[in-house]
A = this chain, B = another copy of it.
Amino acid sequence: MQVLSSISELRAAIRAAKRENPDAQVGFVPTMGFLHEGHASLLEAARAACDVVVLSIFVNPLQFGPNEDFERYPRDEERDLALAAKAGTDIVFLPQVEEMYPAPTRTIVSVKEVTSRLCGASRPGHFDGVATVVSKLLHIVQPDQAFFGMKDAQQVAVIEQMVLDLNMPVRIVPCPIVREPDGLAKSSRNVYLSPEERAQSVVLSQALQKARLRFEAGADDTTPSEVTLLVETKIRQAPLAVIDYVEVLEFPSLQPVSSFADSNRVIVAVAVKFGNTRLIDNAVISI
């Protein structure tokens, strides 16, 4: 496994792999590091589908708001590299901020509509930062396929819209959420939780499971506001949970649902704060 920190070295390594095998499929997993089994599942999907697997680890300042956790975002390079090697990664791209932003960027890639709700509403500018850095990384790596976890379902929707609108020559592969045994979605931010918060955080997946069961019982005789209420009520059973949002939207357009009869797929998405830690989770449901 090669670990490279400069863009020119990375491009040279990928060029070399393509020279050896001109038909080599390059698979790319962009991350912010502090890897967990969710990331490992993306690397494994890339390993299964591609000849060359590239992982990037970069905590992107552009997607953090001024009062967010950029500085204290968890980092553990040594453990990340061990996990990457175990998952069969060929190349790790680990740039410093100065390599990615030698000067403040004047260019912003902005995706409208799919960013107006959910985390886009709670975190203004966040998805401009995500779209811009993913655009940069896709231009640097030039992968055939890029793998993203469905925990950040809105991120997947944003990236897919950007790739479609800008005719980017890459296939986006969404991968299922990986969970702890009790149901909590794997997240680098889970380490922030106190033992009490960790115990109560299970309400997120439990609430989504209630929504899923309600749809299975019959989507025709329920409404978005009934499902929202069901989820909110379950989350409120955890005394430390402070709801940021609970929304039921069309997927992947992320626009409001008027009636489930007109929808093929909906997403039930939640963001909940435990102390300073903001957790997200979702269920995408085919109707």
Contacts and interface: CB of A to CB of B under 8 A. Distances in A.
Interface string A151-188: 00000000001100111110000000000000000000
A131 B107 CA distance: 9
Interface stretch (A38-46, A132-140, A274-282): A132-140
Interface string A112-140: 11100000000000000001100110011
13 contacts: A11-B169, A106-B114, A106-B161, A107-B111, A107-B112, A107-B166, A109-B109, A110-B110, A136-B165, A136-B166, A139-B167, A139-B169, A142-B169
B106 A108 contact: no
A165 B167 CA distance: 18
A107 B106 contact: no
B22 A165 contact: no
Q: Is the interface of A mostly helix, strand, loop or mixed?
A: mixed
A7 interface: yes
A162 B114 contact: no
A67 interface: no
A168 B136 CA distance: 7
Nearest to A162: B107
Nearest to A168: B139
